[in-house]
Amino acid sequence: MNRKIIGSILIAALLGVGVWMFFQSPFSSSTQQALPAGVQQDGISITNLEKPKAGDRPVKTFDLTAKEMTWKINESKEVEAWTYNGKVPGEAIHVTEGDYVKVRLKNELDVPVTIHWHGMILPNQMDGVPGLTQDAVQPGDTFTYEFIANDAGTYWYHSHQHSSKQVDKGLYGPFIIEEKEKKFEKDQTYILDEWAVNQEKQSLANMGGMMMGSMSGDGEADTKQMYDTLTVNGKSGSSIQPLELEVGETTRLRFVNAGYRQHRLVFPKGSMKILATDAEDVKQVGESINTLEIAPGERIDVAFTKEKKGQEVIGEDPQLQNANQMKIPVVSKQKESNSDINDLNVANATSVGSSTSKGSEQLLFDKVPETDVSYQMDLSMGMNMGEGMVFQINEEVFPGYPYDSCERRGHR
């Protein structure tokens, strides 16, 4: 480990809460464990820590190559994407609880990358946070991640190097840890995302020109207003692969939101039950719901049953922008007539509480615990000199201290 990293670690430890705040972005779920208190005490650098050992566990090995690809979103839209193994989302990784996982990352891009395993509790040096837990993997270099897949559930992986740009350009994929005994025979993962296709075209046309503010000139969109295309597993609209299911059949559906926008998915009424949020099993009690609000970075698993004959649809709430582009048709192999299409019914939609996180709390606890201290954090976008659009907490950007302007309430 170089001195720069040790420096970063010391600064990180000193800044404490400030760094914690920074890494609480939707794209770094488990990095609060990255503050390496042990480093100062015994002087061992994270990168020299001993790797986990496979023992007699089954070893599952995967190769992921980060590379550029022209990715076809549908018949008329394509983007210059950054991918793991030439696909968006990247190669799906399925392992079984208890497996020892080895992932060899090769970087064929001309920028450094890493892989962060979103939601997984891992040994620090496998967490994929450049400058904190590893050096970023340079162009042409490789790095092998090794860890035990401990807790069954839905996770995803993504680059953590300049993640606002690299995840946006497609460097993400599903990571599924299956239970030793699967509860559902059928199992399908859907990763939601949004793209700035038209901006990319304009930006390519203006290559070398002066692009101001929110446009970096290479297709990266920094503001959510610029996203004009919604995708499910990298495809949009009629290019989205239908879900094949017979009437009465139940499947596990795993949803991951890899984008910057909250999505609200509407299901046919009475067809869906929540199984887990963020890889934590939940028990859905009370009234049936048919709307899922899924925040950036969040994962929600549901059991879905095809109740009706004919084609059904799971899709973005039609009241939201570009909703038509995010529709998963549910079809049976038997021939169906067009008159049998059962489209989304928003009028009957009931959501999971007023926001997803509140809903998750309600799902996770029989009685939601009362808080002692609460902070108000207003998330917004602002303009910064030299940087263009920035994400802010209480109008501060890292390393600012957003609590200064926070109202601290109810402290005992």
The residue among 29 and 124 lying less far from Cu ion, judged by its C-beta, is: 29
Q: How far is the CB of 120 from Cu ion (least distance, A)?
A: 10
Closer to Cu ion by Cβ: residue 23 or 304: 23
Q: How far is the CB of 214 from Cu ion (least distance, A)?
A: 23
Could you say which of 5, 12, 23, 27 contacts Cu ion (CB under 5 A)? 27
Give φ, ψ of 340 to 5 degrees: -90, 5
The closest of 319, 325, 284 to 304, measured between CA atoms, is 284
CA gap 172, 166 in Å, rounded: 9
Give the interface segment with Cu ion, choosing from 24-32, 41-49, 242-250, 279-287 (CB under 5 A).
Answer: 24-32
Residue 157 as a binder of Cu ion (CB under 5 A): the answer is: no
**In whole angstroms, how close is the CB of 160 to Cu ion at the nearest point?**
7
Of 26-34, 92-100, 142-150, 245-253: span binding Cu ion (CB under 5 A)? 26-34
Distance between CA atoms of residues 315 and 193, nearest Å = 13
Shortest Å, Cβ 399 to Cu ion: 20
In the set 106, 118, 165, 306, which binds Cu ion (CB under 5 A)?
A: 118
How open is the CA angle 195-196-197, to the nearest 5 degrees? 95
Pick 118 or 306: Cβ nearer Cu ion: 118
H or E element at residue 13: helix 3-15
Q: Does 100 bind Cu ion (CB under 5 A)?
A: no
Quick one: which segment of 5-13, 55-63, 113-121, 145-153 binds Cu ion (CB under 5 A)?
113-121
Cα(30)–Cα(24) distance, rounded to whole angstroms?
A: 8
Rounded to the nearest whole angstrom, what is the least distance from the CB of residue 273 to Cu ion in the complex? 26
In whole angstroms, give the CA distance from residue 157 to residue 172: 5
In this structure, are strands 93-96 and 172-178 parallel, antiparallel, or unpaired?
A: parallel
DSSP string, 126-160: GS--BTTTB--B-TT-EEEEEEE--S-EEEEEE--
| Contacts to Cu ion by CB under 5 A | 27, 29, 118
